[in-house]
Amino acid sequence: MSECPIEQLADEIQIREVENFNKEAAKELLQNWCINVSENMSLARQSMDLSDFLQDDSRYKVSKKNVVIVGASPDLTDADILRIDTNVTDVIVTNKNFKRFMDLGIQPSWVCLIDAHPISRLQFDFLEELPREPKGAPGPLPEDIKFLISTTVYPATLWAIMPHTESVYMFNPHTYFGGQARLSQTWAWMNDREELEHGGSVGGLALVLANMIGYDRVGLLGFGLCEKGNPEWTIEEAKKRDHIYYPDTNEYVSIPQHFKAYLAFMMEVVKDSGWEIINLSDSPVLRHSPLLGQSNINDFMNGCYK
């Protein structure tokens, strides 16, 4: 085993529900996470604490019992987004969806981010275009838009957001290592932010957040968790995916191993939650889940008015 601590952790990492996990990818991921957590240390300490928010009834009390969690599936349309009425439901968006919602005039309640990749910075360039204040700085975002951000997020992304809002809540992503203390425990000791489990996906994080806040009714919109088969895949590439045929709709889809892990985590959250969660997406994987109710955004919104 390597003497490098990062490589030792990567060698011992246990990724649940994923077989044949690429250890080289794990090493790179862990290295990026550790670098980002270090660079984000001061901002993490300045951020707000989610546990304080949840314990303060006057701040987090849910006036709307419904929430729509919006993923970034390619099938998500502007028409679906525009059907969301924020007067009767809260909205949790993920990553790049934030700009799309703001462009459409739909203000989300929460924005969740976990992306450690530099490309995530480009998704927030539009903040520099906000109306300028007298001193020339870009204006603030509305106070009731809250951000839940991993300490492993790409630092420049965090620096792009922080000047525009004080409603940033940061957390350390829960990490699993065989026989050792969690790396995230060390991070929590250093930056004084709690650990949260998200199963590797920002959609999983949004679902955990909705469960912690305590909504009665949750809709999932814009979730895919599968892909169409590609005849150009090699045999080895095809073997890295599960392939499922749904005869009732004559659909054939492929599920990469990381999507399989995301789905497994989300379904565990659903089973443990005890609240009503309804799939509003076109994904055949979610449409055939026995744990989810099935509807569409129009009918979900009609139920919010009752």
Mean pLDDT of 206-227: 88
Residues 113-128: pLDDT tens digits?
Answer: 998 888 888 889 888 8
Residues 145-164: pLDDT tens digits?
Answer: 999 999 999 999 999 998 88
**CA dist 263 → 17, 65, 236, 257 (Å):** 10, 24, 23, 10
- % of residues, the chain, pLDDT over 70: 79
| Residue tagged 């910075």 (tokens) | 121
Q: How confident is the model at residue 241 (pLDDT cuts 50, 70, 90)?
A: confident
More confident residue, 53 or 212: 212
Looking at the 3D structure of the chain, how many domains does it have?
Answer: 1
195 closest CA partner among 51, 28, 303: 51
197 close to 255: Cβ distance less than 8 angstroms: no
Residues 156-185: pLDDT tens digits?
Answer: 999 999 888 889 999 988 765 444 456 777
Give the global pTM. Answer: 0.84
Q: How confident is the model at residue 139 (pLDDT cuts 50, 70, 90)?
A: low
Mean pLDDT of 4-23: 43
Q: According to DSSP H, which parts of 40-129 are helical?
A: 41-46, 50-55, 57-60, 78-82, 97-103
How does the average pLDDT of the chain come out, rounded? 80
Beta carbons within 8 Å of 10's beta carbon, 6+ residues apart: 23, 26, 27, 30
What stretch of H or E contains 149?
strand 146-150
Residue 16 has pLDDT above 50, yes or no: no
Q: Taking the CB of residue 250, how many other CB atoms lie within 10 A of it?
A: 7
Helix, strand and coil content of the chain, in percent to the nearest 5, comes to 40, 20, 40
Q: How confident is the model at residue 53 (pLDDT cuts 50, 70, 90)?
A: confident
Give residue 92's domain range. 5-304
- % of residues, the chain, pLDDT over 90: 31
Residue 97 has pLDDT above 60, yes or no: yes
Residue 303 has pLDDT above 90, yes or no: no
pLDDT at 209: 93
Mean pLDDT of 204-214: 91
More confident residue, 294 or 253: 294
Residue 17 has pLDDT above 70, yes or no: no
Residue 80 has pLDDT above 50, yes or no: yes
Mean pLDDT of 60-74: 79
Q: How confident is the model at residue 61 (pLDDT cuts 50, 70, 90)?
A: low
More confident residue, 225 or 91: 91
pLDDT at 197: 84
